Amino acid sequence: MAKITPLFSLKNLLVVSLALNVSLIWRAMHESEKCNFDSSFSLQQQRRSVMAGCVLKEKEHVSERTHLSLSSSPSPSPSSSLTSTDIQSQDGGERIINVDHGDPTMYEKYWQKAGDKTTIVIPGWQSLSYFSDVRNLCWFLEPEFAKEVVRLHKVVGNAITENHHIVVGTGSTQLFQAALYALSSQDASEPISVVSAAPYYSSYPSITDCVKSRLYKWAGDAKRFNKDGPYIELVTSPNNPDGSVRQSVVNRSGGILVHDLAYYWPQYTSITYPADHDLMLFTVSKSTGHAGTRIGWALVKDMEVAKKMTKYIELNTIGVSKDSQLRAAKVLKVVSDSCKPSGSEDECFFEFTNHQMSTRWKQLRMAVQKSGLFSVPELPSQFCTFLGRAFEPQPGNSSVNAFHVTFL
């Protein structure tokens, strides 16, 4: 820490350092204890961070009473500090800027401008049944939602839906567990190893080992994985937390890949090819910002795998909220409509959100540069087939993790 600007006093550096320690201790505990419960921390984090803000927008206000909270929270989602909008004032006027995770409420502006187009009206007598489409392998999948998923992927060009089955889930988190269930063997003598190249989404271990399944088990960094036998590798691309474009790293026989493509949308990264993997996960939370709906979807090539994923969701929650599926269908439709090649009365959703992310990243880079405390990794610019221009990745996820160890 050679260079310290007047922006931070020593007192504040100490606070940052202590917060980092707490974070690292927690992370170490978390690694060993996996899903052991620490509710007080979690709840406190939630309370502190729900309105947590974006360091960049508020950089003018950073004073000696403002400090960063770098704690790694076990709470909500692979979401993003860069998709949050607010900053929380604590008792006594201290400001906590939590850049660990966020909430995609920044897209609210777009949806407010869109007005009634995405308003959904559900009469009390609708959607009483458990069933959505009994002719479909995934019997709780609303046909309208499935249709809009297919259309949106076609419009954006980020995934092939042909020859894939769609399985809807209560967010992609449930689908991730459904995939583990579907890809593991009921008869195996030991749990199948689940790996992902570090740095990986911090909740993967907790989710995988939550109920200590004998079917699957978290086995850490894919780059260090050298155990014989079958394994499941999670390929998160763009990656959470660092936004890098990824491919499988283990590359051995017996491996099964799950592609978490939650952030493979044009506001975060360049669309370079239509993904055509065996099992791909997506979520409305990241694509349109509707985290409260808890809707995700999987594109699955193998019919038996899709059936087993459906079975898991049947046993876990007997299907997925119809109301939210119908709402998500309407939202996806409006997104596709807004990006029609022939033009639309609305601004294309991805142009708007790409611009939002771009602005925020510029501000973050400026603030980080001024602080002299951190560096932000430079990621290569790529041509986006959807937006028709090249841009650097602008991850929406917990970007602090990408630079919190890079002290200058």
The 115-154 site mask, x for binding a second copy (CB under 8 A), equals: -xxxxxxxxxxxxxxxxx-xx-x-x---------------
What φ, ψ does residue 283 adopt, rounded to 5°?
Answer: -150, 145
Contact status, residue 257 vs residue 279, Cβ threshold 8 Å: yes
The 336-375 site mask, x for binding a second copy (CB under 8 A), equals: ----------------------------------------
**With binding defined as CB under 8 A, does residue 381 bind a second copy?**
no
CA atoms within 13 A on the CB side of 166: 26
Min. distance of Cβ 108 from a second copy in angstroms?
Answer: 5
* Measured distance CA(109)–CA(179) in Å, rounded: 34
Q: Which of the ranges 15-23, 31-39, 61-69, 249-257 carries the binding residues for a second copy, by CB under 8 A?
A: 31-39
User: Given the DSSP bridges, would you call strands 165-170 and 192-196 parallel, antiparallel or unpaired?
Assistant: unpaired
Binders of a second copy among residues 257 to 316 (CB under 8 A) are 285, 289-295, 304, 307-308, 310-312, 314-316
Structure-block tokens of residue 193? 């190893």
Q: How many residues bind a second copy (CB under 8 A)?
A: 91
Binders of a second copy among residues 195 to 254 (CB under 8 A) are 203, 206-207, 210-216
Closest CA to 213 of 78, 318, 312: 312
The 10-29 site mask, x for binding a second copy (CB under 8 A), equals: --------------------
Binders of a second copy among residues 152 to 171 (CB under 8 A) are 170-171
- DSSP, residue by residue, 90-106: PGGG-EEEE-S---GGG
Binders of a second copy among residues 65 to 84 (CB under 8 A) are 74-77, 79
User: In Å, how far are 352, 355, 378 from 359, measured between CA atoms?
Assistant: 11, 6, 16
Min. distance of Cβ 66 from a second copy in angstroms?
Answer: 21
The one-letter amino acid at 87? I
Residue choice 6, 60, 92, 112 for contact with a second copy (CB under 8 A): 112
364 phi-psi bin (left φ>0, alpha ψ -120 to 50, beta other) = alpha
Q: Nearer Cβ to a second copy, position 96 or 334?
A: 334
User: Given the DSSP bridges, would you call strands 295-300 and 165-170 parallel, antiparallel or unpaired?
Assistant: antiparallel
Residue choice 87, 96, 114, 384 for contact with a second copy (CB under 8 A): 114
